[in-house]
Every structure is written in structure tokens, then in C-alpha cells.
Chain A
Amino acid sequence: MDGNLGNFLPGLVVAAVGGLLVAALALRPLLRRTASTRASWVQLGAVGVALVLLVPTAVLIFDQTQYFRARGLTEVGSAAFEEPPVPETVARSFQNAVRPGESWASVTKLGRCADVDLYLFYWLAFRLVPDPPDCAHPDVELFWRVAPPRGATIVARGHDYAVVRP
């Protein structure tokens, strides 16, 4: 969550000021009634800080939502504030090519069903349910940033990708 926090810092600081307002409004009646002991001050402080941080957290969720929308992601997101493994047009093209009941596989420069931490493979597996992956004998393959083998039947292709029936 806090990996790219620096990018959002100015907005989060403004949101924290808003959070301060929320905390003051929400806790004012309790401050009058309960702040009579050290223990109650400590607890009210913990609630106050959590409420102050609540607004920046909501802003961060808003930013994440905008991030998905900007990339046209309506079915599945991407790893925290990272680009999706393939653009939405490529994923849709592959989804359209796989017929019900057919198996599929993804191919990258590392090989079939292989990717840096298998991000693409797992991401596509979610999108293509109920069509199962089959890394040994797939019916359809997505070649991402690698050329398909000669003689393969290409059913769709575009910049950086080809959808192939072996």
C-alpha cells in the first residue's frame, strides 16, 4: 500500500487536513463527556489519529479506482499501481478468440506459461474462466512480445501480440 506513497503525498496531506476536520466533528461530543482520565485521552487520541488517516486512505482508494478506469480495466485490476500485464485490447482480443471449453496458454520471451512471476498467466486465468489453462497442449495461445512459430494459424494479431491456434 505504501510502496508508491511518495507520488500521492501532496494530495494525501490535504486529505489528512480534511481527516482532522472529520475527527474533530465526530469526536467533539465524546471529548466533552469522556476525556476525564489519562486512559480515555489515550483512547480518544488513537481514534482521532485513525479518523485523520481515514480520509487519505479513502483518497488512495479513489486514486486506485481512477487508475483502473484510465486503463479501461472493468473486469480485473492490476497489481498495486502497476501496469496490467497486457493492454485491455489484447486481453479482449484473446478472450474473443477462445471458444467455450477450449484450453489456452500464454507465451512470453521466457516461454510458454512462463513470465516474470507469472503475472500474465494468473491474470489471464481469472479472465478466461471457465476455459482452463493447458500449458502442454493448448487449443489457443497468446504470444506476447514474441513472434509466433511459422505455419501457426493466426486468428488475431496486433502491435506486440498474436493469438494463435497451434
Chain B
Amino acid sequence: MRAFFAAALTTVAPTIVGWRFISGSQVLRWSLGAVVGIVLVAIGALMGGLLGSPLLGSAVVLLVGWFIGPRVRWDPGVGALRPGIGRLIIALLVVGGALMILSLFRPVPSWDAWFLWSLKAKGLASAGSFNSPVFRSPAYRYSSQDYPTLLPSWQALAYLVSGDLQVSWPLQFQQAWLWTSASVALVSLTSGYGVLACLLPLAWIVTPEVVWQSMQGYADVPMALMLILGTAVLWRDRFDPRSHVLAGVLLAGAALTKSEGAPLVVIVLACLLVTRKPSAVLALAPAIVIAARLPWFLFTQAHGLTNEMINSATIRSLVHGQVPMRVPQITLTMASVTFSPVRWGLLVPACVVTAVLVRRIDARLGVATLLAFVMFAAVYQATWALQGSTLEAFVNSNVDRVLIAPLGVLALAVGLTFARARRPIASGQKQSVPGAALPDERDLVSRFDEVEDRGIP
């Protein structure tokens, strides 16, 4: 019974608090609010873990969030759901519901879950702080003790509330809840920008790879979901301080979930915020990310926890050409995985063909996608040089998972070219849709959106 309470408390309570951060349609408020609430409660547990009480930390953050939420409430300005989108939302809820029911019968399932993530959740829950041997003892060095711990902190709450370290299904329920909330949020948010703007992001989030990995206990999907939602929020409203706060929270979640989360967040922030006219508001989201990421970074530095996978010696040897470059092989392997229909359906071909047909891609997100792929290729090169294992075997062992986030950014980059005009900037002036002179295809799409708008009260 306590396990049911643990599963419900760690998902429903943050959803209720997160709801207060969003305005607009109830579907968007509950779904995007759920993800925001989860990030907040997990950050609270992480900070609480650093200070000696994850439960108290998360309770304090939820309480503060309850009062602050309405003051920073973000209005995405997307109104009610457009016709046809309701069915998609129902389909996502049915699938999410099925995953949640399955989660009741599933333990922590796969290798990295017990090797890394949920191991840390158990360690945090058993000691009540990060002073657990799991984080400090050399005996657990194999588990990369410096990895960011947002997911384990959230999971630790379920262990703490259930009071039983041998009951692990609530952790699976949490992940099913997160996927369901995030998928509904992504579709309702992007469809508010224009019906066609939601199709490629939807095609990304329901691909076999994302759905399968979301239930394996790994951190890749949670990190990607927070990154993509934060990106979509920031892309919409680059001049509204409230959107920066919300995007900052979501991107902080991504930066605290996996090691590669922080560089991906830096890429997205740099691509979306770089401008010839800097203003104070542009510093909000980066400041939130840094403030959230800093305590864990300081903890790892204070206790000498380092992954040691990529260090200055490795980088020096790469720069000086002492290690043969294998970029062509890495690129080919990454490309072959992204085009695999069993994993990704038609996502990547559809993105490429659509971009060619409409002769557009959102420039900022397009650059972000490219940089994300380059970053992963560089990491593969460096880790291969360090490990000395067969490159293809090493890349193939995890490339399917690590490309989840970059492919999400690609889906946004192409999908959002179909979005209508962004929100007015402070002066009331409209920021133009990418491309003032629309090609034929885009013209038709815009006319469709106008007709749709007139049909919606």
C-alpha cells in the first residue's frame, strides 16, 4: 500500500504544483505543469540530499513553488486545442495509461538502471544524503559517481516514501508518468503554434526508440524530454521573462539529468539567445541553469569525484593528432542508426524531405542540431581513443540512446518552421515568422492556419 502511495505522491503532487506555473488550456497546464513540477521536486530532493534530507528539500521546494507559480505563470498564448489534436492526445493518454499499468508489474529493468541510476537512488534513500558510500566509497567508483543525479533524487523519494528498498515498481511508474505528461505537453504546445508544427515532434516522441527507452530505467529519455520542452518554450517566447523562467527550470532539469545534458543545454541556449541586442532577460534561463547545476558540481569537486573518461591529457592528444581521427566511421555509424526504421520509423527521412520541400529549417535550431551531433561525434572520438575498444562496437552499444535528444531538436527545427508568428516582443512589434516571402507550400500552410483560427472560439 505504501508503494502505491509513493508512486502517487511523487507524481501527482508535483503535477499539481507545476499546474500553477502554466496558463492556457487545461491539457497544457496539467501536462507541461507535470514536467515542470517533476523537475522542481527532483531539484528539491537533490538539494535536500546535499543538506541531509531529500524529503524535506522536495517539500520545501514544492511549497515555495506553490506560492511562486502564479507569480511567474507562463501564458503560451496557444488557446484551446485545435480540431483533430484531441484524438492524438487521447491516443497518447491511452498508451501512457497502458505503460503505467505495466509499470505496476515491472522492477528496475535494464543494465544502466541498476548499474548507475537506480543504484544511486537506493544509496540516497538508504543514507538520507549524498554521504552514502554509493557516492563516496571507491567500491562504487564503477558507477560514475560524479554523474548528475536529478533522476536518482526523484526516484529516491519513491524509496523513502514506500520505506522499502526492495520494491522498485514505483520508479517505473514515475518514468511512465513522465513520458505521458511530456508527450501530451509537446503535442498540445507545438500544435498551439500551428497544427503542422506538432507532427514531427509527435513523430519523434512516439518512435519505438523513445517509448522503449522511456521504460528501461535509463536517464536518456527524461533528459531529452526536459531539453525538448525547454527548447520549445524558449523558442516561442524569447522576450518574455516568464518563458525564460519556465525554460530555465526545464533546461536545468536536462542539465542535471545526464553528463551530456549540460553541453546540450549550453548549445540550445547559445543558439536561441545569441542576439545583436543583448538584454537582461536573456540571462534569466542561463542563470537558473547555472544556479541549479552548481551545487552538484561543487559537491563532486569537493569530494574528488571525477569520471576521468575525458580529461586534459585525452584532449591534448586529440588536438596534437596523436590519436587517429575516426570521424568518418563515427558519422556513418550514427547515420545508419538514425535511419533505422525499427528504431526511428521515418522520422529522419521525413525531416530531411520536409526541409527540402519547404526549403526551410529553423536556423537557430538547425545549428543546435548540427552542434549536438558534432558534440557526440567528438565525445565518441575521445572515449574511443581512451578506451581502445573497437570503435563500431562501442558506438553501436549506446548510439541509439544518446541520439534521442539531438533527433528531438531536429524534429523541432523542421517542425517549427510551420509555426505561426511568434509572440509579440515588448514593443508590441511582431517578430516575423522565419521567411517573409513564403514558398508555395508554406503559403498553403499559413492559409490553413488562418482558417483554423477562425473556427476556434
Contacts and interface: CB of A to CB of B under 8 A. Distances in A.
Contacts of A126: 108, 114-115, 118-119, 122
Contacts of B134: 129-130
B168 to A, nearest CB: 5
Contacts of A75: 107-108, 166-168
Contact of A45 (B85, B107, B350): B350
Interface string A37-53: 11110111111011101
Contacts of B349: 46
Interface string B102-137: 100111111101110011001100110000111001
B35 to A, nearest CB: 20
Nearest to B447: A36
B132, B165, B199, B347 pick with most chain A CB within 10 angstroms: B199
A50, A57, A61, A133 pick with most chain B CB within 10 angstroms: A50
A21 to B, nearest CB: 11
Given A50-B347, A130-B134, A73 B107 contact: yes
B102 A65 contact: yes
A46, A54, A60 pick with most chain B CB within 10 angstroms: A46
A32 B168 CA distance: 45
Given A51-B91, A61-B99, A75-B108, A46 B342 contact: no
Contact of B441 (A37, A77, A95): A37
Contacts of A43: 196, 199-200, 203, 350, 354, 415
Contacts of B84: 29-30, 32-34
Contacts of B351: 46
B195 A74 contact: no
B366 interface: no
Majority secondary structure, A binding face:
helix
A42 B202 CA distance: 13
A134 to B, nearest CB: 6
Interface stretch (B45-53, B206-214, B270-278, B429-437): B206-214
Contact of B105 (A5, A33, A57, A65): A65
A58 B95 contact: yes
Nearest to B137: A132
A38 B357 contact: yes
Interface string A102-145: 00000000000000001000110111011011110000000000
Nearest to B118: A126
Interface string B164-181: 011111000000000000
Contacts, number: 192
Chain B interface residue count: which class?
35 or more
Interface string A57-76: 11011101100110001111
B196 A49 contact: no
A138 to B, nearest CB: 10
A26 B199 contact: no
A37 B108 contact: no
B126 to A, nearest CB: 4
B140 interface: yes
A152 interface: no
Contacts of A5: 342
A112 to B, nearest CB: 13
B107 A56 contact: no
B266 interface: no
Contacts of B105: 65, 68-69
Contacts of A54: 95, 206, 208, 211
Nearest to B132: A130
Contact of B109 (A27, A30, A68): A68
A21 B353 CA distance: 26
Nearest to B449: A34
Contacts of A58: 95, 98-99, 211
Given A30-B84, A77-B106, A130-B133, 20 more contacts: A1-B212, A2-B342, A27-B88, A30-B88, A33-B84, A39-B196, A39-B353, A39-B358, A39-B441, A45-B346, A46-B203, A47-B206, A54-B211, A77-B109, A79-B110, A79-B111, A123-B114, A126-B119, A130-B122, A130-B123
8 smallest beta-carbon distances between A and B, as pairs: A46-B350, A29-B84, A126-B114, A77-B109, A130-B126, A43-B199, A129-B122, A46-B203
6 contacts: A47-B203, A65-B102, A68-B107, A69-B105, A77-B107, A125-B140
